[in-house]
Structure formats: structure tokens, C-alpha cells
Amino acid sequence: MKQFVLSFPPNPEGMIRLYDRDYHYIVRVRRLKPGMSFKARLPDGEETQVRILSTVDNILIGECLAHNTRPAANLLPPIMLFQGLPKGSKLDLIIKQASECGVSMVAPFESEYSTARLSRDPGEKLNRWEKIAKEARQQSGSSTETKIRKPCGFKNLLEYWESIKKEHENPLGILLHQEPLENGPLAKGSFHGYLNNQPGLVALAVGPEGGFSPAEASLFMTAGFRPLLMGNTILRTETAALYGIAAIRTILLESETWKPISTE
């Protein structure tokens, strides 16, 4: 279902103002006028009905009439994507797909095998990625606000992981890797096995082209990430991200319907 996503919540009086692209979309594209109403979603995921009061001087002033409770899909734990910087415009596609799938945070970082490098001033790219995320939410109907973190280095990413772990009960980090990392139970980890313990947060780490270096994989595991090898094929980084997110969401959404196989 298509939706309009408000970039900011209404003020204490329940009023909103829309400018530029948002104004153009509502007034020029959808051709709505004062007195008419449209459905919108607040940044926190709640739905609201907005009545247009005026459209003077290319500014839409509207009143939020009612809020509906957040949909059940938001009862899932936050899902974050730690994405190694890929080549070209692949990150645009990854952010689009992650936003459609209800990922709460995309955190790009420079990995050892990243061909793309950090920009000194990523502001322009960050603005574009935020627009891509918003448009994807509006197209897909996702109730989850997808935030894009400023790209960082590998060390900074692990520091960020340590900080957010403290904010959630039973956090889970899953490291997608292109080859088995070790012998023993961890080498045979599965999405079902890792997600069976009702995590309060799930972070999925996906490498750039070429995957993670042995040193990076070791540091991820030291930080508590659990390694996972998906089948016997090596996926492109943009495919691996979508594959992993879809698997996590499917298992979490259907967790109550899964039953252990009897060994008797």
C-alpha cells in the first residue's frame, strides 16, 4: 500500500508544514486542496489523517486529526544492516530494499576489501540515501522508520555495536561470510538456531565485494557476532543483504508457527 511518510512529527498543536518535494507531491502530483485530507505515517510508525488547511506560498499547512496505534509488524525487534561499502550505486539499491523490508537502521562502513572509500563530506550522499529510504517506505507501506547512519570506519562500527548492545536485551549479531570460519557448532550456525532465543535486536553484517577479511571476521566474532554460511553459493553483496534481511524477517514473523521436529 502506498503511503505518505512525514519527515517530522506534528507540533504540540498537531500541526504540520510541508515544503519543496513534499509540497509538490501532495499539491501538484496528488492535486489535493485545502479542506481535503490524506493518510500519512508519522516517523515513529503510527498512522494519521491530515486535513489540509492552506497551500499558500508553496507551503502546505495541515492538521493531524487522529493517530492509530502502531501496526503489529513493529512488534518485531529492530533489524539493523551493517553494510560494507560496495562499488558504484549498489548501496542505493541496498538501502531501497532494506527500507522496503522494514530495516530500522542501515550502517555503511569501510571494510578492508571495500573498493569505495569514505568521503570527507558525505552530506550529499547521506541526503540522497535518506530520500531513497523515504520513497521506498512510501511505495512499500513499511511502518518502520529506516535511518541511515553516516558511513564510518570498521573500528567506529564496532564501537557503535558495543554502544547499542547496552540498549537492548539479548542483542544478536549475525555475520554473513563467504566460507566457513571455524570447526565446531558455530561453523554450522543457522538463522533458525540464532533467532530461536527471541533477540531484542538483530544486526546483520554483510561485506562488500570480496566479503570480509580474516582479521575483520575475527574481530566481529570477538564482538559477539555469530557466523553464518548461506548455502553453497557466493552471493553478490546486494543479493546477500536482501537474502539475509528476508530470512530474518520471515523467521521472526512466523516464529509462533514453527515447531521443533520430534526426535522420538
User: What pLDDT, in 10s, does the model give residues 115-162?
Assistant: 888 877 778 899 999 999 999 998 888 889 999 999 999 999 999 999
More confident residue, 256 or 241: 241
Residue of 215, 139, 220, 216 whose CA lies nearest to 175: 220
Neighbours of 61 (CB within 10 A): 14
Q: Is the pLDDT of residue 70 over 90?
A: no
Predicted confidence at residue 87, as pLDDT, reads 92
CA–CA separation, 215 vs 248, rounded Å? 26
Average pLDDT, the chain: 88
Predicted confidence at residue 260, as pLDDT, reads 59
Confidence of residue 262 (pLDDT cuts 50, 70, 90): low
pLDDT 10s digits, 197-213: 889 999 999 999 989 99
Residue of 93, 104, 8, 89 whose CA lies nearest to 50: 8
Longest CA–CA separation in the chain, Å: 73
pLDDT 10s digits, 154-200: 999 999 999 999 999 999 999 998 776 654 444 557 898 899 888 99
Contact 15, 61 (CB under 8 A): yes
Which domains, and CATH codes, for the chain?
4-70 (2.40.240.20), 74-255 (3.40.1280.10)
Residue of 203, 212, 204, 206 whose CA lies nearest to 179: 212
More confident residue, 45 or 54: 54
Angle between helices 214-222 and 154-165 (to 10 degrees): 20
Predicted confidence at residue 55, as pLDDT, reads 96
Cell representation of residue 62: 495541515
Predicted confidence at residue 181, as pLDDT, reads 62
Q: Is the pLDDT of residue 112 over 80?
A: yes
CA–CA separation, 88 vs 237, rounded Å? 12
Q: Is the pLDDT of residue 84 over 70?
A: yes
CA-to-CA dists, residue 3 to 26, 39, 49, 230, angstroms: 11, 7, 11, 34
Predicted confidence at residue 105, as pLDDT, reads 97
Predicted confidence at residue 230, as pLDDT, reads 75
Contact 53, 62 (CB under 8 A): yes
Q: Is the pLDDT of residue 225 over 80?
A: yes
CA–CA separation, 85 vs 212, rounded Å? 11
Contact 237, 209 (CB under 8 A): yes
| 188: Cβ contacts below 8 Å, ≥ 6 apart | none
Contact 22, 57 (CB under 8 A): no
| 241: Cβ contacts below 8 Å, ≥ 6 apart | 81, 83, 94, 97, 98, 204, 206
For Cα atoms 136, 140, 146, give the angle at the middle one, nearest 5 degrees: 50
- Stated pTM of the model: 0.82
Predicted confidence at residue 226, as pLDDT, reads 93
